[in-house]
Structure 1
Amino acid sequence: MKKSEKKALIMMATYNGEETIREQLDSIQSQDFQNWELYISDDNSSDKTREIIAEYQQRDSRIKKILINKKFHGAYANYFNVLEYIKNNISNDYFDYYFYCDQDDRWVKNKMSKEIQVLENYGENEAILCYSDLRFMTNSGVIKTEKMSDKTDINLKNPYNLFFSSRYVWGTTMAHNKKLWDMLYINKDAMNNISHDTYIAQYAVCFGKIIYIDEPLVLYRRHEKNVSGIPGNYGLVEIMKKLTVKLPGVIKNHSMVYLEDLYFINNAPYITTFMHELKECILKGGIVARNFLKKYDIKTTSSVWGQLSLKIILYTGIYKTNKLFREIKDEES
């Protein structure tokens, strides 16, 4: 029988986070929504991260489990380790809301309640994901006035843009409902190159709704250990530099985005017309890609460099030179 009081699941990935994790755990405990449980996957930390979590766990029974990520290492695989554990070990009816948490940020006090209200507004019969803006803070925890939306347009006005850029949905800001969770295909052994936030958001785009909250609900710590970077807009000098010195890295980034798209399409519960056309666009490139971008009005950024690189790389199909992409394409043949 389903419980009467709705409950949230928070999934956290940690690695050598002893300097900041107390602040994040404190911010979770201070939420004005209190009916949550926390499950953590630690990527075999060599510092006192797990000891600190265990200390909190002794005082708070809502911190349920600390998993050790043993097979593949890295931020992506670490998240999917905890996702797979929940999929395989917790009843489908146990949680109503799903949240994702980094070890070094801080949540504002009403983050969970605001996002839960958005999910409730759309009901339980549609797959809904919401995400918010972020406010920057320094490595030492000083809160700045600058927000992520000041750096880049993270409002996903055209949801299909998500399949060509990972600049939009930041996992630590997002929440979704059970309907979306039930749709997810999770296999951690295949997830070493897949970002959990974009992957989950793709389900919402194709099978439900994705909502942007124009308010910073997370304090986002910037330091040299961040896995994700900050997108930016570029002038002519930076464009020329990217076209020469940085082009191989840009090609690799595009290739990985398209690999994520193919993984999602190949494991989705069913394929929509958009997904079929997207797959053809990626596998064929050239004129097929040009027509696809025009049909769905794909523009992931207002910067000249962003638009130019998307077209050059997708039209020429140069992203297919990536070894991992060639292996996937061979499987499609």
Structure 2
Amino acid sequence: MRYRTKAQEIFIMAEHTEDGFDWDTTHASEPQQLLGSKKVAILLCTYNGERFLREQLDSFVSQTYRNWSIHVSDDGSTDSTLEILEEYKSQLGEGKLFISHGPRQGFAKNFLSLIKNREIIADYFAFSDQDDVWLDDKLSRSIAKIPRVPLNKPHLYCSRTRLVNSDLALLGFSPSFKMRPCFENSLVQSLAGANTMLINNATRDLMCRVADDAPVVAHDWLVYQLVTGCGGDVVFDQIPTLLYRQHEANLIGANATFRNQVIRILKMLTGRFSEWSTLNLIVLDSVRMELTENNRLILERFEAARKSGLLSRLRLMLKSGVYRQTIKGNISLIAAAILNKI
């Protein structure tokens, strides 16, 4: 496997970073023994991904957790993506890789088409991009961390990532968020990338209730809002579980560099964030009665704030309790509220 040596070197280097992570590679066998009967459906969306797809697929094959299947929705690739997928399908054998055709309406709708496909039956669902590299214990770590009871309660696992360039050279980490994941935070911030996420069937059921034509900004942000809004649990793991490529073809990059953070803040202050909020609220309105009573109240206050004059807007924003994960983020949130750009 071509990526293997370099990926392992990056993994070992993590033991000596300034972040001080304790990379314990011995935990993977225990979850596999205890939870090996739980099926994981890996949901992979592809579009002209020939350049890096083999490395992503190889990292699935290398997982220490073995009870998985790959479900691919291709959104109209014109390169050799489909040929590569057929090659791996043949190599992996019966029941391991399935290929379907996406709706060709963008990456969010493509992921939603996969999660809403009831022919895919599993205990957990893991989202994947086409150009990353999973660390070997990604699935075993995710399953070990996510709560297993009650089964009818929505659960979401997500994590930080190790940022790498096209050649897998280390660039840094995605942001470390320490404040509590909750609905108040989800209204104004997406916590983690979909490529790190693992969800249970209760969360999947919530996503299936979202209309096919819903104006979804980003499926990872939607998952965070639905799980927290409906009283579910979110685990944000400080230890990265994958190598997240940053390259010119990324649809959405990591918000880690100073430049990217400035761009995000400018989007908030120039009205782009307000547009996203409007679309998010349309989707949340369709599942309003699924929200907990307290979260419905938070949502109502946030909606009212966006329609109010300055003093009432600030008062309702404060009363709603919405916040972002960093001091800089909260300063930009206050500025956006003053400028009525929320």
Asked if these proteins are the same fold (TM beyond 0.5), I'd say: yes
Q: How does 1:65-144 map to 2 (within 5 A)?
A: 65-72=98-105, 74-84=106-116, 86-87=117-118, 89-90=119-120, 94-120=121-147, 122-142=149-169, 144=170
1:253 is aligned to 273
The 2-side partners of 1:17 and 1:82 are apart by 18
CA-atom RMSD, angstroms? Answer: 2.8
8 Å contact from structure 1 (residues 136, 148) kept in 2: yes
1:43 aligned to 57, 61, 75, which one?
75
- Is the counterpart of residue 197 in structure 1 residue 224 in structure 2? no
Question: Compared with structure 1, are the counterparts of its residues 23 and 278 closer, same or farther at alpha carbon in structure 2 (3 Å cutoff)?
Answer: same
Question: Compared with structure 1, are the counterparts of its residues 265 and 101 closer, same or farther at alpha carbon in structure 2 (3 Å cutoff)?
Answer: same
1:182-202 CA distances to partner (integer Å, 9 max, x unpaired)? 2322433324x4311111121
- Is the counterpart of residue 34 in structure 1 residue 66 in structure 2? yes
2:51 aligned to 4, 19, 24, which one?
19
2:297 aligned to 261, 270, 276, which one?
276
In the TM superposition, residue 170 of structure 1 has moved relative to its aligned partner by 0.9
2:37 is aligned to 5
SS, match of residue 189 in structure 1:
coil
AA in 2 matched with 1:314: A
2:255 is aligned to 231
In the TM superposition, residue 247 of structure 1 has moved relative to its aligned partner by 6.0
Question: Compared with structure 1, are the counterparts of its residues 249 and 105 closer, same or farther at alpha carbon in structure 2 (3 Å cutoff)?
Answer: farther
8 Å contact from structure 1 (residues 134, 217) kept in 2: yes
AA in 2 matched with 1:254: S
The 2-side partners of 1:96 and 1:46 are apart by 33
1:300 is aligned to 324
SS, match of residue 38 in structure 1:
strand
SS, match of residue 22 in structure 1:
helix
SS, match of residue 311 in structure 1:
helix
The 2-side partners of 1:36 and 1:211 are apart by 21
In the TM superposition, residue 311 of structure 1 has moved relative to its aligned partner by 2.6
Question: Compared with structure 1, are the counterparts of its residues 247 and 99 closer, same or farther at alpha carbon in structure 2 (3 Å cutoff)?
Answer: closer
The 2-side partners of 1:283 and 1:297 are apart by 13
8 Å contact from structure 2 (residues 269, 341) kept in 1: no
When normalised by structure 1's length, the TM-score is 0.79
2:242 aligned to 206, 218, 226, which one?
218
Question: Compared with structure 1, are the counterparts of its residues 101 and 62 closer, same or farther at alpha carbon in structure 2 (3 Å cutoff)?
Answer: farther
Total equivalences in the alignment: 298
- Structure 1: runs of 5+ lacking an equivalent: 320-333
Q: Please, which moves more after superposition, 58-67 or 104-113?
A: 58-67
The 1-side partners of 2:147 and 2:325 are apart by 31
When normalised by structure 2's length, the TM-score is 0.77
In the TM superposition, residue 123 of structure 1 has moved relative to its aligned partner by 4.7
Sequence identity percentage: 24
8 Å contact from structure 2 (residues 268, 336) kept in 1: no
In the TM superposition, residue 12 of structure 1 has moved relative to its aligned partner by 0.9
2:334 is aligned to 311
8 Å contact from structure 1 (residues 164, 258) kept in 2: no
8 Å contact from structure 1 (residues 265, 275) kept in 2: no
SS, match of residue 76 in structure 2:
coil
- Is the counterpart of residue 52 in structure 1 residue 84 in structure 2? yes
8 Å contact from structure 2 (residues 146, 235) kept in 1: no
8 Å contact from structure 2 (residues 56, 132) kept in 1: yes
- Structure 2: runs of 5+ lacking an equivalent: 1-35
2:173 is aligned to 147
The 1-side partners of 2:45 and 2:122 are apart by 19
Question: Compared with structure 1, are the counterparts of its residues 147 and 8 closer, same or farther at alpha carbon in structure 2 (3 Å cutoff)?
Answer: same
Question: Compared with structure 1, are the counterparts of its residues 303 and 15 closer, same or farther at alpha carbon in structure 2 (3 Å cutoff)?
Answer: same
8 Å contact from structure 1 (residues 36, 62) kept in 2: no
1:233-285 CA distances to partner (integer Å, 9 max, x unpaired)? 869xx97x999xx5688411332134213312322452333233323423542
